[in-house]
Amino acid sequence: THWLLAWLSLELNTISILPIMMSRHHPRMTEATTKYFIVQATAAASILFASTINAWQTGQWSITNTTPTMATALITVAIMMKLGLAPVHLWYPEVMQGVPMYTAMLISTWQKLAPLALLYMTHSALSPTLILTFSLLSTLLGGWTGLNQTQTRKIMAFSSIAHMGWLTAALTTNQSLATLTMITYIITTVTMFTLMTTTTTKTTHDAGTAWTMSPALSTTMMLTLMSLGGLPPLTGFMSKWLIVKDLSTTNLLLVSLAMLLASLPSLFFYTRLAYLTMLTTPPTTTNMKLSWRFTNQTMPYTTATMTAACLLTPLTAALYNSTW
């Protein structure tokens, strides 16, 4: 609960992934690692500066005793920058595009846990209006800017920005719901990256030939994409449904309506990728050049994550109560 320890943990979290990002000596990976380091270091320095101001004003370094001042606004912006929320998100798609699939998966899941933990500890002192503004902007920009992307890692980056918007909106109303949203986001994202790596789907063009490698994995990829979009019978629908319910009960109907409308562009580019995955398959004609049928190894956790990414909606009540 000490600000200096929190800053130190964030720095360790950043530094620990840099060798993984630089594991292959390639100019794009060097560029992505440099961008990631600069942004994360800037955000961590802002948090240290804000906590120093808070200690100067209150006389203590405890995270739980942070008072709502200019320091808390700076802390909010810094944490949002670390998470890659709009409008401080421009580094995120570029970094994701410059690293391999599994490293991108780590950046979009594991690396978000430390800033989220700090956000959980400080959310009671932070301005709900500022957090909701960030979440609404992220949902809007994550959907609209992902429309013209053809690289799957960039699509997943903008998807992550939109999902973080939903998560921070949940945090302003219900902390346990934010935990549930985070768990479903991590499950669906890990599933999607694993499937894209197994079928070597790096662009939307590659998705058209994934069926020839493994029809079962292509079908599951389509279902996981629909789950990310939040279509009703699938797991992704659960968290969005509960967030809209909570926002509506706290008289934030306009915010919930805006977030629902903002998620439609996201659903469109998920559906477009699912269409390329499933509906342009043999024996119909395809415009894509068929790739070699390499035998890729499927990860042992793939079945469990695929099941969880698609079939957890019937357990909504149990999962919602267990995160309290």
Q: Per the structure block, which two tokens stand in for 55?
A: 């200690």
pLDDT at 293: 57
pLDDT of residue 44: 92
Q: What pLDDT score does 168 carry? A: 92
Q: What is the pLDDT of residue 41?
A: 92
Local structure of 2: helix, strand or coil: strand
pLDDT at 167: 92
- The pLDDT, as a whole number, for residue 289 is 59
CA 324 from centroid of its chain's CA atoms: 22
* Whole-number pLDDT of residue 34: 92
Provide the residue count of the chain.
Answer: 324
- The stretches in the chain having pLDDT less than 50 are none
Residue-level pLDDT at 223? 85
Residue 17 to residues 23, 99, 113, Cα–Cα distance (Å): 10, 12, 13
Chain-centroid distance, C-alpha 199: 21
